[in-house]
Structure 1
Amino acid sequence: MRHKRKWEPLVVKITDVARHAGVSPSTVSYVLSGKRSISFETRERVLASIAVLGYRPHAGARALASSRSNVLALMLPLRTGIHVPVVMQIAVAAVTAARRYDHDVLLLTQEEGVDGLRRVADSALVDALIVMDVQMRDPRLPLLRELGRPSVLIGFPADADDLTCIDLDFTAAGAACADHLAGLGHRSVALIGSPPEVYERQTGYAQRVADGFRTAVRRHGMTGEVYPCESSADAARALVARLLAERPELTGVLVHNEPIMEPVIRAFRTAGRSVPGDLSVVAICPDEMAEHTDPPLSSVAIPAEEVGRRSVELLMSKLGGEDVPAATLLPPRLTPRGSDR
């Protein structure tokens, strides 16, 4: 005897409504909750999709969504090539800022890829997310765009549409350093950059510094190349030896690799090139690091504390239903000291 197949009712999810209406799941949530101002046209489109699909929010899910954990997730994967002191400055500033809003911070330092991001976002542990170490084509971005939880990226991917991002304008920083060296009359320059794996991952800040540097070098008619370097004294000495062998006319260097700033200067001195007498050196690093080298380095500051604080402020505004700028680029500030001529 043939048994009739029992058909289960189709369950329509908020992501189905979002896809049908051509908006993000968070927009659907805002329309339902009224916690954020949504344009009339978008609201009507979402409501029409709800009616067509027969979406019915579950009462328990609505109650859970309306509750707050007062916890923010800070996703800070400690990958190889990252300069930990700088990222921890950002993290401490974020934690301090969150406490002013009566929020705690859940710090996630493992390699939190798409699966880890989904696990955290689907839990009731956190209200919102701050994502660091952003790559130009970051695999986490599609999921971040779909999540119903607010997020802020510290860093800029190649495609930042529908995302909220904040960082130092690293493209302008690289250009500002090359402009500075050009203004001092240098014609042959080099960027000693981040470790090779940072470029291989297409980490946003390193890629943007290199792009800004190259663009300015071409604009001034200088010769200049980008040289990735491992963050060790031995690697710094080997690269300096290579530079002097291949480019003896070199007179200007930008260092964007905090752990090797002093080893680079020592290696040039050991090879008979004084700083700043024979060679001008500038850096992109926190001010306190530039001030304590010998000689103190002219530098573009990395505003770690400001980035951490403002990322939390943006996130809290989003949680409050306020509109925030999609892109916050902090302008570079170059401070001349004693390392150039």
Structure 2
Amino acid sequence: MIGKRPVLDGRYELGEPLGTGGMAVVRRARDLRLGREVAVKLLHPEVAMDPEAMAAFRAEAMSAARLNHPGVVAVHDVGEAVVDGAPRPYLVMEMIEGQPLSHLLVDGTPLTVERALEIGVDVTSALAHAHERGLVHRDVTPHNLMVLRDGSVKVTDFGIARAMPTLVVDDAEEEWTEELAEAGSGFGSVAYLSPEQARRGFVDARSDLYSVGCLLMTVLTGYPPFRGSPRDVVRHHLRTLPPTPSSRRPGLEPAIDGIVARALQKDPWQRPQSAAEMRRDLLQVLGDIDAPAAWAAGAHGLATAVAPHEPQRMSEIVDLATQPVDLVTGAVPDSEDETDGAAGSPGPGDGRGEGAAVGPAAGAAGAAAGA
């Protein structure tokens, strides 16, 4: 006889695990109050015992719950419950059907140029929405990007990113920490780490854009800018001029090289100063290659939304002005309604839904566990 399923906090009936990462386990669950399927991310006991990590997790989780964008995995609830005699914080997220982008890049085969640019537009659209609300992701990697069946991309782990171990390397003394080594092997984040994160410097929205530059290099060429041991990769992020995408994949448009090179500048002031700015640059190049996808991105926020049969010219694309978080003061817009085109009404391809179920590729949820 099958035992009775445990119920978390008297509300969430827990099902089978969907994935496990360095910080949490994600389990299929049913919200007994609303009668819908959800995914519950339950932090590991050792993480829950770290007061600093817990304080950061709670603050970021509450911020993540405010995000409402077709390119962000929705957080429905945040709480803490006693599990096996110990307090365990948890997140309740929407169930989605898809797989991590990392599953599509395992053999080093790049994506088509159009698809790579679409992903870049989708990710920067979601980041623009988050940055406007003062939330920096800090771990934009293929593991934390979910590709849905309709091709749209959702960013995961906004609620846990800040709680991850701080990655540190002393640029002067070449000090190497165990935390960095662990992160390199466990979280898979070192390849997408910004120089200021490695130095434990001030991190803002532009750090996420450096990671997007690394991501673009990966989807365009099959590999991130720098490869090697975690220690060597971090040193490269700090000191080495990255290759251009066209040096690995001849024939790419110079404009693509320019976008990636600017995002990968060591100095944050030399990068795009907002995700919306980077998104506009990507949209311009995408429009030259695939006008319908660019039109859909400008109108609905996601490049993978369904486009009309008669695309408009790039000059007619809807791209409302944004008001990014102040990079010096950290100030955010006063109104929650101030959003860019990325936060507009979801297009037909947004893939959102309260009861959307995770399909066979539910290992994707493992990425959301902080892997």
Query: Does TM, normalized by the shorter one, top 0.5?
Result: no
**TM-score w.r.t. structure 2 length?**
0.25
Indicate the structure whose relative CO is greater, using CA pairs within 8 Å and at least 6 residues apart.
2
Q: Which has the higher helix share?
A: 1
